[in-house]
Amino acid sequence: MTQPVESKSEKSKELKEPREKQPKLRLYPQIPLPDDVVEQWNEILMPQINLALRHFYRKHPESVEISIESIGESPQKTTPTVLVVCTSVNKVRAILNKKLGILFDGTTTNIALKVCRGSMVRSRKSPVRSMAKSDTQGDSSRHSYVERDESEEIPAANPDYQQKPQNGASIGAWIGDKHLPPVSLGGVIIVDNKPYGMTVHHMLDDPDRPFQGSDDFEEFQDGATRASAPIFRSSALSRDLSYLTEGETSSEGSDFACEFSDTESEYSVTDITSDEEDEDEDEEFNQPGDIPGIEPGCGHGYIVTQPALDDVPDGFYPSRETENEDHIDTYSVGEVYASSGIRRRTENNLIHEIDWALFEFQDDRLPEKNLFPPVDAGDHRVLTLDHLQPVEVAPVKSLPGLDVQCVARTSGAQAGRILSALTTVKIYGRASPSHSYQVSGKIPGISKPMTPPNQAGHGVSLGIPGDSGAWIVDRLYGRLCGHILAWSERKQVAYICPMDVLLLDIAETLQTTDVRLPNGDVLFVSSDNKADNDVVEISGSEAWTEDDIPDTEDIYQSSQHSHIGKDNVNMDILARDMDKVHIQEAELRYGMK
């Protein structure tokens, strides 16, 4: 029996009919994730994903952000979604779909997967005037950076000179031959009864220094400098984020942080196999991306200025030839005392990016205490009636869900919330990830992106470039929570390092008697009893193997036999051998047994 032949007109009609437009998916950081989902993410899914991507991490220097978020069409229709932000979207999606796809196909868990394009950057300000502002008459060596459109700059909310610099003030560093871009003064800490200003080490990180990463990054290294690869560590130029088209990030009045395109390109077998080659090679675990710190008392020649040179008005100094010296003579605030460099530290099974610097104040510029001004939450409400003066530190375990505020060089006084779930971040140049907490300034009711007085009509959120080093404080009790390290342009969040981890590292590095905040009690006392091998690793460790990932068919069968439904599927199978899969102790410390 012959089948009826479809007429050409019917085919033509079908071709002309537009496809049903899929609704935009948006990120809603204000929608809390269920506690059980956060626990599953922190304890099981996040380590699984890091393990699946470990070879990709080693072979690609690009930054990667992995978090679990509330994503949906509206605040009322959100789904817990694993969000991966990277540059090699097709490759990462292919790896995860092959190795862990059954977890996100809707049959095993109620958690979705989204992989999108983006980059994470250090929150230090980009080189503009001190080394890169377009000026054909200036010294060519002084302008060695890639030039950029000055109109793309985000004006600083807190750039001015302060006789006694307060929290969030603009500071910069002179490293012997040039002034580096601005960061934020975190605040003052007391170490063995002596006050020091605290900020980030990457304030001292010269963006002209050649990139040095893992040997697996060879294809990326030739001729690579921070000028040609500006998202390494800190110097993110606006054009490097050009993939963010109009509408992908939220406007000032929106209730979402960003939205995602409904188009996804296909991936190929080569996307998967190219990162599986040589998987059985015996690789020595190391820490590409580490940068040495400054030994205590050896920071002579590293001069801190307030404000940074970039924040001094053009024409303020009479001569270009003597501008560097004039700026030091006019605005020097002190010299660097010590810094951590850029390295890793493990506390309570979490790996943190350690990045701090301490500098000494000249007597006439030493602030007496730390003060955080009241923050406007919008709707004519003020979150805090009085200035907050932190004298205590919030423990790491109390950070998730805290409403916080900060004051910083670029974004000014801002409020936000520390999101409940941990985040995996791999900063550009690293070969393995670390952990971080993210702070969102896009929380309706508690935060309103503020408009700096010199940037009419453009609301900004905390953490944007120039905010590195700014302190985050608990809005209710004024406890010190952490300081800003990096910024996600795609998700519009700041990444922080917990302050109790930083202060403990300072105490041990400097071998101090005590560390405290002004007018506060002793926070940490140095101890010599810490075991040398009390260190853990995550997915870069050789202790992890491919066999540690539970077979996806076993996971599927477990979900099918579960009696409690898809929304509360028994995840026990995922915890099989979790003494191996979960973040574990390893007798390694930065590659040394």
* Residues 396-418 pLDDT 10s: 999 999 999 999 999 999 999 99
User: Which residues does residue 69 pair with via DSSP β-bridges, in sequence order?
Assistant: 81
More confident call, 232 vs 367: 367
More confident call, 452 vs 544: 452
Q: What is the pLDDT of residue 115?
A: 95
Torsion, Cα 54 28 40 49, to 10 degrees, reads -10
Average pLDDT over residues 544-555: 51
Task: Supply the DSSP symbol for 98.
Answer: H
Average pLDDT over residues 321-341: 96
DSSP string, 496-507: EEEHHHHHHHHH
**Cα gap 471→489, rounded to integer Å:** 20
Alpha helices (H) along 318-368 = 323-331
Q: What is the pLDDT of residue 24?
A: 87
Average pLDDT over residues 443-447: 71
Going by DSSP bridges, is the β-strand pair 303-305/170-174 parallel, antiparallel, or unpaired? Answer: antiparallel
Q: How far is CA 454 from CA 441, 457, 550, in A?
A: 20, 10, 54
First to last CA, the chain: 76
More confident call, 4 vs 568: 4
Whether 32 has a pLDDT exceeding 90, the answer reads yes
More confident call, 45 vs 208: 45
The pTM assigned to this predicted structure is: 0.78
Whether 139 has a pLDDT exceeding 70, the answer reads no
Whether 461 has a pLDDT exceeding 90, the answer reads no
**Cα gap 110→80, rounded to integer Å:** 7
Confidence of residue 527 (pLDDT cuts 50, 70, 90): low
Average pLDDT over residues 335-343: 96
* 3-class DSSP assignment, residue 347: strand
Q: What is the pLDDT of residue 124?
A: 55
Whether 549 has a pLDDT exceeding 80, the answer reads no
Confidence of residue 265 (pLDDT cuts 50, 70, 90): very low
pLDDT in tens, 73-130: 999 999 999 999 999 999 999 999 999 999 998 777 889 999 999 877 666 555 555 4
Q: What is the pLDDT of residue 170?
A: 97
Q: What is the pLDDT of residue 178?
A: 92
**Cα gap 423→419, rounded to integer Å:** 9
Phi and psi at 566, nearest 5°, equal: -65, -40
pLDDT in tens, 503-513: 999 999 999 98
* 3-class DSSP assignment, residue 497: strand
Average pLDDT over residues 329-342: 97
Residue type, 579: D
* 3-class DSSP assignment, residue 30: coil
CA-angle at 589, arms to 577 and 522, nearest 5°? 100
Average pLDDT over residues 225-232: 33
Phi and psi at 398, nearest 5°, equal: -90, -5
More confident call, 452 vs 535: 452
Whether 209 has a pLDDT exceeding 80, the answer reads no
